[in-house]
Amino acid sequence: MVHDKRLLELRKKMHKKKPSFRRVESWRYKRVKDPWRKARGIDSQTRKKTKTGVKSPSVGYRTPKKIRGLHPSGYEEVRVVNIQEINDLNKNRHAIKISGKLGAKKRITLIDYCQKRGFKILNLGISQKEIESLEAMAEAPISEIEDQDFIDIDELEDSLEGD
């Protein structure tokens, strides 16, 4: 269920107009770091909210509640590590982000499973070319795999001893 397109467009426009909230005078002194901190000076133009002061975060900059925290595609992002976690999800409402901790072999099976179920995957993390080469290596018997696919241990040891 992709949420209201109108609200997503509105959020996109709002993000363009929203200033980058910087800490007062962070551009002036190295010791003052950039992330936002509330202005507390007695004469601070930012605290007084005058025209000359830096813009402060306020409620008026928030996005519509219905779509707050959603991915730009309109889906809810869900981080997935294994197939069991996918069974509780709805393909029309959730988009999947595959955990970066997964290796290529498990990632491929998870991607296959998700695509068969019709889920949107936000980070394939592995190119289609890599997927095809891994599948080919998995299907091919060891005798057909080329020598360049393996690391020669003797050469590796020689190069390490040379260093």
pLDDT surpasses 70 at 162: no
Report whether pLDDT(163) > 70.
Answer: no
The pTM for the full model equals 0.62
| Better-predicted residue by pLDDT, 83 or 137 | 83
Judged against a pLDDT cut of 60, whether residue 61 lies above it is answered with yes
The confidence band for 124, taking pLDDT boundaries of 50, 70 and 90, is confident
Question: Up-side HSE of residue 160: CA atoms within 13 Å toward CB?
Answer: 6
Q: Could you give the CA distance from residue 57 to residue 160 in angstroms, rounded to a whole number?
A: 55
* pLDDT > 70? residue 152: no
Asked whether the beta carbons of 54 and 26 are under 8 A apart, the reply is no
Beta strands in 1-154 (DSSP E): 76-80, 94-98, 120-123
- Band of the pLDDT at 102, cuts 50, 70, 90? confident
Residue 52's contacts (CB-CB under 8 Å, 6 or more residues apart) are 45
Residue 45 has pLDDT above 70, yes or no: yes
Higher-confidence residue: 73 or 152?
Answer: 73
Look at residue 15 in the predicted model and tell me its pLDDT: 92
